[in-house]
Amino acid sequence: MSSVESQQEQSSQSDPSPSPNSCSSFELVDMDAGSLYEPVSPHWFYCKIIDSKETWIPFNSQDSQQLEEAYSSGKDYNRIVPTDGGRYDVHLGERMRYAVYWDELASEVRRCTWFYKGDKDNKYIPYSESFSQVLEETYMLAVTLDEWKKKLESPNREIIILHNPKLMVHYQPVAGSDEWGSAPAEQGRPRTVKRGVENISVDIHCGEPLQIDHLVFVVHGIGPACDLRFRSIVQCVNDFRSVSLNLLQTHFKKAQENQQIGRVEFLPVNWHSPLHSTGVDVDLQRITLPSINRLRHFTNDTILDVFFYNSPTYCQTIVDTVASEMNRIYILFLQRNPNFKGSVSIAGHSLGSLILFDILTNQKDSLGDTDSEKDLPSIFIDQGDTPTLEEDLKKLQLSEFFGIFEKEKIDKEALTLCTDKDLQEMGIPLGPRKKILNYFRTRKNSMGVNRPTPQSPAGANMSNIPKESEFYSSTNGLDVGIGQVPVKYPRLIYKPEIFFAFGSPIGMFLTVRGLKRIDPNYRFPTCKGFFNIYHPFDPVAYRIEPMVVPGMEFEPMLIPHHKGRKRMHLELREGLTRMSMDLKNNLLGSLRMAWKSFTRAPYPALQVSETAEETEAEPESNSEKPSDINTEENPVPVKEEAPPIHVGMLNGGQRIDYVLQEKPIESFNEYLFALQSHLCYWESEDTVLLVLKEIYQTQGVFLDQPLQ
């Protein structure tokens, strides 16, 4: 028996339970001591897998309050509560959190009041709701009766001891047991136990503004990972959104205080997963060499995406996926935000920017124009035999499920109308369900068969959504699209306001396609603005402006630092250059003036290069300063104000190319930071601030202070 247990038994023997006659005295003690007890304030958390490990993340204060109100109401326990700005739904009855706009594993949700510190990362982990309630009841009795040394055993045989309000510990169970089959009560290093979220170190945000002013779709580049930490497009866009919320509070503070603006919503668009779920990975695996397996797998999963985009078959799949995803998310967004009156913009990183560029160049001037199949080139029309359902399933290596579809009398047309729930009820597992649905929906869009007309959400203005016959656009009539892969480009059901390209190879692809020059009068049919944003060391990025005005050499626009100044090393570099020129001018001027004052003759070192007119010195007054005289052999011309540069109408007459300022450490070795510079845009405050500035400028909202 441990010392703690013996102390508990002694205390229980010395303080027997009160008799019924002492009820009043017990009530008096309970009332006096009970005044010290206050119920714990709960906070809601959700569990997410980060680096193959469960991590509990708190909801922001606004979402946690909404969840607690829904939980406390008791009217509808199965209520669905939107959280994270409407990007996730929490099903209270299931205690699960589901993504709204993209596919993601559901996360467990928990109403948390008690926590214990983990072993490795020292982060606090919440107890289950049922055991937290037991802990809270035990704590209440301990405070009320002023009796501590309370010991509890969790469902997994872990021991928790409440020594006093400030000392509560958690012991893990031992790995084995002794020869009698009983294990000690506690072993190893105890872990700290905390009550209430206010007593643990965790960052809880206030929440996001409810008003959404603008919607931006973000399309990723090659591969499933978007940065050096191998994070998905969803995680990277989350960082981009978080940076934008912080910058709105610091650089648009006046507009937020006056309730002129709310926030910009950024939503990711994933095309890599649908592309690689078409069965192409199986075909590649059969021909891939077994040597250097990891490198070949990386190549198949990332670099080959560029070759897929140059293939008519898979290029059709990619553009269909991107356009259909943006259209689907847009309709769903309007359904969930019926009061949204803002505009829509699009952004693409790396190859994703090229995909968006090709889609934009093949839109129609008016959403009301229609297409007919006879207007399309013959290459756009399916002329081959349509494969059967059994052949399609065999291509996906899912032939074992053909018998289920045959039994249910489901053909390819019926399968395109099936939902995930329908396939689940047939007994098809999750993985095959996702592959089947994605494959046949992609085939449906690419072949133009049985395309459903977008349904108008209740309360939303859907007057600009085209009809079924307007959903695809041909590629003819666009000189800027020369050399493009001959595919059938889908229509977007909205007109984007601005197109932002991050680290974009658009210029290189246009040049390789044979396009030497972009007509200065050319503009996107449905998009007004275009900004080509890149890091100076990005190996994938190329400029656009030299293709519009090839006969002129000029620098791109330097993106201002988000703190309103140039980076220190750039200022120092420019300062040293100016100082060296000033020293040179002043030194030569002083020497020449001193020589003339003594000899009244030209300076011999300059006599050879000077003309007769230059040697005739004008009378100089004693008040003339050496710095006022131009004394250089080859005088440096005075830098005049450069005339404005016109780069065509692709960005409405504004500049197109915008370059970031490299960090001081990056300037030491350009090659070392080349790969990192291609993936830096997601957390770049300068990039995000430029996007926000251009978006809100179209609405007449400007920065609190202009950046220099």
Active site residues: 350
| Calculated CA dihedral for residues 434, 439, 440, 445, nearest 10 degrees | 120
Of 270, 252, 250, 269, the C-alpha closest to 261 is: 252
- Supply angle C-alpha 331, 336, 340, rounded to 5: 80
- Both tokens of residue 1? 């028996």
Rg (CA), the chain: 34
Which parts of 84-211 are beta strand (E)?
88-91, 96-99, 107-112, 114-117, 124-126, 150-153, 159-164, 167-172, 187-195
Of 534, 544, 570, the C-alpha closest to 686 is: 534
Which parts of 14-154 are beta strand (E)?
43-49, 54-58, 80-83, 88-91, 96-99, 107-112, 114-117, 124-126, 150-153
Helix, strand, coil percentages for the chain (3-state, nearest 5): 40, 15, 45
Q: Residue 113, class by beta-carbon neighbours within 10 Å (0-12 exposed, 13-18 middle, 19+ buried)?
A: buried
Euclidean distance between the first and final Cα of the chain, in Å?
A: 73
CB-CB neighbours of 151 under 10 Å: 17
CA separation for the pair 426, 442 (Å, rounded):
22
Backbone torsions φ then ψ of 265, nearest 5 degrees:
-95, 125
CB 649 within 8 A of CB 523: yes
- Supply angle C-alpha 652, 657, 661, rounded to 5: 135
Long-range contacts of 247-252 (CB under 8 A, 24+ apart): 247/562, 247/685, 247/688, 247/689, 247/692, 248/692, 251/562, 251/689, 251/692, 251/703, 251/704, 251/705, 252/692, 252/696, 252/701, 252/703, 252/704
CA separation for the pair 570, 480 (Å, rounded):
37
- Both tokens of residue 105? 């594993």
Backbone torsions φ then ψ of 593, nearest 5 degrees:
-65, -40
3-class DSSP state for residue 107?
Answer: strand
Strand pairing of 124-126 and 114-117? antiparallel
